[in-house]
Amino acid sequence: MNVAAISERTTELLTRFNLTTAATELAHRLEQAGQHEVLRLVLEVLEMEAEAREQRKINRLRRASQLPPGKTFDTLDLKTLPPALGRKLHELARGDFLEDAINLLAFGPPGVGKSHAACALGHALIERGHSVLFRPAYQLVQELLAAKRDLTLPRQLRRLDAAELLILDDIGYVKQSAEEAEVLFTLIAQRYERRSVMITSNLVFSEWERIFKEPMASAAAIDRLVHHSVILEFNAPSYRTAVRRTDGHSADGQEPNKSPERHK
C-alpha cells in the first residue's frame, strides 16, 4: 500500500472512530513530516482497533440474538438438501435481502432441517454485522399476548423492531386463540415492508386458517408475508428419520415427504 492509500485509510478509520480532529490532522501532518513508517505503524494499530470493535459488536449481536450456538452452516449437512436450496441459503447469507425488507418463508415437513438452516443463516448474518432475533413462534406469541394485557404491546413491538431479521421458528405448531392470532398478525403487519421476517412452518399456506382461524385474517397475513418474499422449499427426506435408520431403528410405514404447496 502506497503512502497516499495509507493516509486515506488512516483518515477513514479515525473518522469512523469519531476522532474528528485526528482524522483531519494526523495523517496529513505525518505525511508532510516524512514520517511514513510512523504513519504505517499508526494504521496498523488502527486496523487492530477496528477489528476488535467489530468482534465486540458481533459478540453483542450473537448474545442478543438468542440463536442456538451450535446450529451454523458448519454443522448443517447441505448434502441432505436440494443443491439449489443450499446455494440459495449461502446467497441469502450475504444479507442483501435485508435492505429491501424481504421475508424468507421456509416450508417442509418435520425433521428436514428448516430450523437448523434458519439458525445457520442467522449466525452468518451476524458475522456480517446484522442484527438477528430468533424466537420459537409459540413463545413469542405468549410474550406479545402478555404485553398486550399489560398495555405494553407497542413498546414490545418497538423492541422487536431493532432486529433486522426476526426468525419465527415452527409457526405451524402454534394453535392460537383469536386474541393470540391477533397479536401475531399485529407483529407481521408492523414489520411489513420495513423489516424482514423469516418463518419456518410445517403447514402450507392453505392450512394457515389453523393458525389465524378466520379466512380473511389468514389471507391478510399471507399477503403481507408473500408480497416481498423468498420461498424456501425443504422437500428433502427427514434428517431425523435417516439418523434413526442409520442407528438401526425401523421407519416402516412412514410416507415419503411431499413438497409444500406454493401460495396461489
Q: Which domain holds residue 36?
A: 3-63
Domain presence at residue 201: yes
Domain presence at residue 256: no
Domain presence at residue 18: yes
Same domain, 212 and 237: yes
CATH number of the domain encompassing residue 94: 3.40.50.300
Using the structure block, give the residue that is written with the C-alpha cell 401475531. Answer: 184
Q: Which three cell numbers stand for residue 70?
A: 451450535
pLDDT digits (tens), the chain, 264 positions: 899 999 999 999 999 999 999 999 999 999 999 999 999 999 999 999 999 999 999 999 999 999 999 999 999 988 888 899 999 999 999 999 999 999 999 999 888 899 999 999 999 999 999 999 999 998 999 999 999 999 999 999 999 999 999 999 998 766 667 787 788 889 999 999 999 999 999 887 777 777 776 677 778 888 888 889 999 999 755 544 444 444 444 333 333 343 444 433
Number of domains in the chain: 2
CB atoms near residue 98 (< 10 Å): 18
Domain presence at residue 263: no
Instruction: Please name the residue ranges forming H helices in 17-74.
Output: 20-32, 36-65
**Domain C-terminal end among 33, 63, 93:** 63
Q: Which three cell numbers stand for residue 61?
A: 449481536
Q: Say how far apart CA 105 and CA 94 lie, in whole Å.
A: 17
Same domain, 38 and 128: no
Contact 76, 117 (CB under 8 A): yes
Start-to-end CA span in the chain (Å): 55
Contact 165, 196 (CB under 8 A): yes
Residue 200 has φ and ψ, to the nearest 5°, of: -105, 140
Same domain, 195 and 147: yes
What is 58-100 written as a DSSP string?
HHHHHHHHT--TT-STTTS-GGGS-HHHHHHHHHHTT-GGGGG
- Exposed / middle / buried, residue 178 (Cβ in 10 Å: 0-12, 13-18, 19+): exposed
**Domain C-terminal end among 63, 82, 101:** 63
Contact 71, 123 (CB under 8 A): yes
